[in-house]
Structure 1
Amino acid sequence: MTSSGGQLESIHDHNLLSLLFSNHERDDDSVVWRDGKNGDQIITKAQTRKLVRQLTHGYRQSGLIEGGKRDPDKVINLTENQVIGFPNVLALIASGAVVATCPWQATAHELLFRVRTLRPKAIVCSKTTLPLAMASRKSSGHWFSIVVQDSETMTVEDEEGRSFISDQETPWDTAWDEEIANRTAVMVFSSGTTGSPKGVCISQRNIISMILQLRHLFRSIRSGKQVLKMAGILDSAHVAGLFIHSFCPLGVGVEDILVPATDIDLLLQTYNRYPIELMFCVPTVLTRLLAHDNFRRTNFKNLKYITTGAAKTTTVVQQEITRALTPGVYCQEAWGMTELTFLATMHAPGVLGPWNSVGKPLRGNVIQIRDDQGKVVPVGQTGEIWVSGPTVTPGYYLAQVNDHDAKKDGWLRTGDLGSVDQAGYVYIEGRNKDLIKYNGAQISPHELEGVAREHGAVLDVGVVGLDLEDGNELPTAFVVLKPGSPPAAITGEILSFVNSRVSPYKRLRGGVYVLQELPKNAMGKLSYKDLRELAKKLHKTSQTARSKL
């Protein structure tokens, strides 16, 4: 079955920076970014344009970034969401750099992997992440500059306190051709099914196409020069957060009010303080909202569009949120992935689609459901989801995996299983991938396995997600120990060993279990399916035992 989103307008002659600032549907004095806690900390469209030009001049003049290189300078962004951070992302792109993301809560091990992979020209950090950046430079053996940005003082400086915000301005390059269109602008590391995370190269063409898709989708909820106020809660280290914070505000016409996703109190206060009209979120935010004492006392009546993704959201949660909204506004799921720039399917504003669907393909996208032989299956039948469209990314940095395994003739094999109904709605029914999803983030089991193998007592290991049936999966490790290792004493040690080397969301919250051998299939490959079943069984046994106490 095939579902098409229709034709997207041509992007010829659309340079990314020019497209963002030529959006005449908003005034120069309109706020683009606002800090949710300190509402007076803002950056307007006019200030953003000036900042981008000043920073571009500062980066070029200092020699930090060299424009026009066939192999562009790489800059790792290691900061929390902050208002000056997103103009800085645009300035780095305007300067000719590729901006690569890294979670600000990353461990030294995770940052080192990116440094050794990219050999960056610089790392952009905050006061909070400065020690991690400096430690990484010392231990990596690769020298890079450190840029410190601070939204409280509105500064972007080097380690010596010299400002990159120049008194002079350099305009961005407005040239546009196929080479520039396909040039990597940003790189987001995505958890893969083989080895460590892979750097997904996202081009200017991909970003521009995604902007045009969202402009078309939201045209019914915007009028004139109206700017939609958005509760910006997603982490910009992941593709969804990077896109909605860096490109959506100027490209689509949004005021991005920055609120940490973990601060539900502040999020609810933000809804009461500002007429929030738009929100992209993950399922855990919705469940935390519903569980909060002030949820029923919060004003959601201005909300015109809310969507959730990155993990499965139950119909009950979607409907509970919807009941708090204005009639005709619905909380429903969307679907996408890093390799598709952001989202590939969404529900149209004001249209109630099937609760268990993820909407229809966006403009320019075509989705097909195919069987194992690559043949399109009939309507309603489950198969692998293939996607074609302008947001399909070029591939992975340094071809760390065989791109041809995932892409064929312009089609991306997503690894997700799903179906399409007669009306063109898409349904996600599982995935071929073994990725673990926790709190909206994707976790590579192979990355955790690699960390666990570094422990001296581990002979073999398999990591799977324990499905809690609420959209979350807990990373759970099954290990085979080397001879002579005492199981009772060593499991806690392995747990601490792994958890201390990964970001909080990747920790082995499902525990560590010892097996005599790991289940393998006929080809000798680890059977993740069998391990997932075992994790469920052990979890159920543990719950039963606790209930008898």
Structure 2
Amino acid sequence: MLGVEGKLITEISEEEINRIWLKHYDKGVRPNLEYPEIPLYDFLDNSAEKFPDKVALDFIGKEITYRQLKEASERIAGYLKSIGVKKGDKIILDLPNTPHYVIAYFGVLKAGGTVVQCNPLYTEREVRHIAENSEAKIAFCIENAYPKLRKLKEEGVLEKIVVCRVEDYLKFPLNILYKFKKEKVELKGDFDFWKDAIRSEPIDRAVKVDPKEDVAVFQYTGGTTGLPKAAMLTHFNLVANVYQVKEWLPDLSEKDVFAGALPYFHVYGMTTSMNTPIALGAKIVLIPDPRDIKRILDSIEKHRITIFCGVPTLFNAINNYPGVEKWDLSSIRACISGAAPLPIEVKREFERITGGKLVEGYGLSETSPVAIVNPVYGLNKEGSIGIPVSDTYAVVIDDEGRILPVGEVGELAIKGPQVMKGYYKMEEETAKALVNGWLLTGDMAKMDEDGYFYIVDRKKDVIIAGGYNIYPREVEEVLYEHPAVLEAAVVGVPDKYRGETVKAFVVLKPEYRGKVTEKEIEQFCRERLAAYKVPKIIEFRDELPKSAVGKILRRVLREESTKGSS
């Protein structure tokens, strides 16, 4: 079908591949684009020139225009220059989705620096690894993360910390009320306040960068085994991915309103819910806590949000929020779900509630992240991650690197302008991941006759029981079909006879708790799965462990189960 089946990916070029998926592109979506070699901060500058008085950010009622956003970023760039930041320096952003993040992000880039992404919920150990690995000496942090960073400064790992407070961007009287309500943090030691840094003289002109060579963002990834790696994303990688996202939704414009609920310290939120709307000149409604479902529903209704990128657990939480029908969510036009498999039942219910389109996509930190997505308006295959976006190639390979034919399961490999430069200071890991320009994703997948791809599972998540390969996602899909199941996760646990056996963790909907038994869930699976795939152990939980973006952490569940059986 692709015309290259049986060949090694080290021996093929993109021109040889028959992109059978192109016939399913939505009308107006082009297979090949021209990508300008510009610095990422040009998106902000261009929108500020076109729409100076248009609202760029709305943060709990506080509005910031594109002109104000550009000026603020230049002041932060000026501050960084005043403390000695030079081109190529790495600066940690340990921030949630507040205006500080967006301003600091573009300020760092304009100063010629590299943004080092950091989750504010990380422990001191995790932040230490990021600081030491990236060689960052400066950090912007939200106030309650300061105590962790202070220790790093006292030890000389960091040289400068800028403390950001939520009330910096709250309107009166919320700013006063918040001061009294918030948890008290002991602010001792040597640091600068954001409110002082933002008063710095703006930079004369942004530092010139080489878009294809200079790294804009360090995105840490792959912490399931060993320590996280920094995927180096160049200005060109990120600019290209914004162009690809804009192309995939050809009716996007500056009139759209984006939900800024996905954490920006995660590459998915950064590209789809910050960089893309800023490139358009659209309005972003910042939501600092994606777990605050009521605020999300209120924001959709009040601001008439049209574009909402999220993760399956977020859409599921909206579907099951008490009284969700009371909110007018009809403004929602298009939503992309990523970072984890989208259960079919979650998709159908969300589309019923909003009337909008919810499609599953696929990406990685290493692909900036968007690589494969279902067409928004065309053929949308449930259970599929979709088809490669413009200028993106995807194949399924075996362990020797040979391209497999339609329907066969192997490792997914991706090539395109959004694929990272490599992992920082990890040449061996880079060589394993990048082969002839192809990124080996570590995900097991298959392709159908139309060029639609299906993730079967993470390579490391495959359960091998009695010689059979069992893919957790397939079992999870069945569990989600049960009317009592709110969330589910499946892992392999050690078994002395089968090697591994299937264990399911299930969260029941509140009205079913205490009324549905493990036996009933097992029987439900037995009617829909081959016997060897049926969970042998079922454990009910009140909640499942999740990452900052709401991705269910199978790794944590597997570790807990392994400890319990040892």
Same fold (TM over 0.5): yes
**1:94-493 map, 5 Å:** 94-138=110-154, 140-154=155-169, 159-161=191-193, 163-166=196-199, 168-173=201-206, 175=208, 179-192=210-223, 194-222=225-253, 226-259=254-287, 260-326=289-355, 329-399=356-426, 401-434=428-461, 473=489
What is the TM-score when the length of structure 1 is the normalising length? 0.75
Provide structure 2 residue ranges, at least 5 long, that are not aligned to the other structure: 3-18, 23-29, 171-186, 464-470, 481-486, 495-544
RMSD: 3.2
Partner residue, 2:51: 27
For residue 334 of structure 1, give the secondary structure of its aligned residue in structure 2: strand
How far apart, in 2, do the equivalents of 1:8 and 1:503 lie? 31
How far apart, in 1, do the equivalents of 2:362 and 2:224 lie? 19
Report the AA paired with residue 163 of structure 1: D
Partner residue, 2:71: 50
- Describe the superposition over 1:408-434 as per-residue Cα deviations: whole angstroms up to 9, x where unpaired: 111111111212223222211122134
For residue 74 of structure 2, give the secondary structure of its aligned residue in structure 1: helix
Report the AA paired with residue 326 of structure 2: R
Partner residue, 2:524: none
* CA separation of 1:402 and 1:508: change in aligned 2, threshold 3 A: closer
Offset, 1:206: 0.4
How far apart, in 2, do the equivalents of 1:174 and 1:397 lie? 22
How far apart, in 2, do the equivalents of 1:474 and 1:237 lie? 27
For residue 425 of structure 2, give the secondary structure of its aligned residue in structure 1: helix
How far apart, in 2, do the equivalents of 1:435 and 1:86 lie? 38
* CA separation of 1:59 and 1:110: change in aligned 2, threshold 3 A: same
For residue 250 of structure 2, give the secondary structure of its aligned residue in structure 1: helix
Aligned residues: 452
Offset, 1:111: 1.1
- Describe the superposition over 1:224-275 as per-residue Cα deviations: whole angstroms up to 9, x where unpaired: xx33111221122221122234422211343221222100111111122121
- Describe the superposition over 1:170-205 as per-residue Cα deviations: whole angstroms up to 9, x where unpaired: 2444746xx442211111110256421111111101
Partner residue, 2:509: none
- Describe the superposition over 1:294-314 as per-residue Cα deviations: whole angstroms up to 9, x where unpaired: 212222211110111111121
How far apart, in 1, do the equivalents of 2:565 and 2:166 lie? 53
Please tell me whether the aligned partners of residues 117 and 219 of structure 2 are also in contact (alpha carbons under 8 angstroms).
Answer: yes
Moved over 3 A (4+): 1-8, 23-26, 171-176, 433-436, 464-478, 502-517
Please tell me whether the aligned partners of residues 305 and 331 of structure 2 are also in contact (alpha carbons under 8 angstroms).
Answer: yes
Report the AA paired with residue 292 of structure 2: D
Which stretch of structure 1 is more off in the superposition, 303-312 or 351-360? Answer: 351-360
- Describe the superposition over 1:76-121 as per-residue Cα deviations: whole angstroms up to 9, x where unpaired: 1111210232121111111011111111111112112112222312
* 1:90 maps onto 2:122 in alignment: no
* CA separation of 1:433 and 1:476: change in aligned 2, threshold 3 A: closer
Please tell me whether the aligned partners of residues 306 and 331 of structure 1 are also in contact (alpha carbons under 8 angstroms).
Answer: yes
* CA separation of 1:195 and 1:90: change in aligned 2, threshold 3 A: same
Report the AA paired with residue 139 of structure 2: I
- Describe the superposition over 1:294-344 as per-residue Cα deviations: whole angstroms up to 9, x where unpaired: 212222211110111111121111111111233xx4212110110111110
Report the AA paired with residue 11 of structure 1: Y
Partner residue, 1:523: none
Please tell me whether the aligned partners of residues 221 and 349 of structure 1 are also in contact (alpha carbons under 8 angstroms).
Answer: no
Which stretch of structure 1 is more off in the superposition, 103-112 or 389-398? Answer: 103-112
Report the AA paired with residue 125 of structure 2: H
Q: Percent identity?
A: 22
Which stretch of structure 1 is more off in the superposition, 72-81 or 11-20? Answer: 11-20
Provide structure 1 residue ranges, at least 5 long, that are not aligned to the other structure: 437-463, 479-498, 518-549
For residue 393 of structure 1, give the secondary structure of its aligned residue in structure 2: coil
- Describe the superposition over 1:436-492 as per-residue Cα deviations: whole angstroms up to 9, x where unpaired: 9xxxxxxxxxxxxxxxxxxxxxxxxxxx999865575488998xxxxxxxxxxxxxx
Please tell me whether the aligned partners of residues 52 and 65 of structure 2 are also in contact (alpha carbons under 8 angstroms).
Answer: yes
Please tell me whether the aligned partners of residues 358 and 376 of structure 2 are also in contact (alpha carbons under 8 angstroms).
Answer: no
What is the TM-score when the length of structure 2 is the normalising length? 0.73
Please tell me whether the aligned partners of residues 300 and 325 of structure 1 are also in contact (alpha carbons under 8 angstroms).
Answer: yes
How far apart, in 2, do the equivalents of 1:323 and 1:476 lie? 34
How far apart, in 2, do the equivalents of 1:205 and 1:46 lie? 24
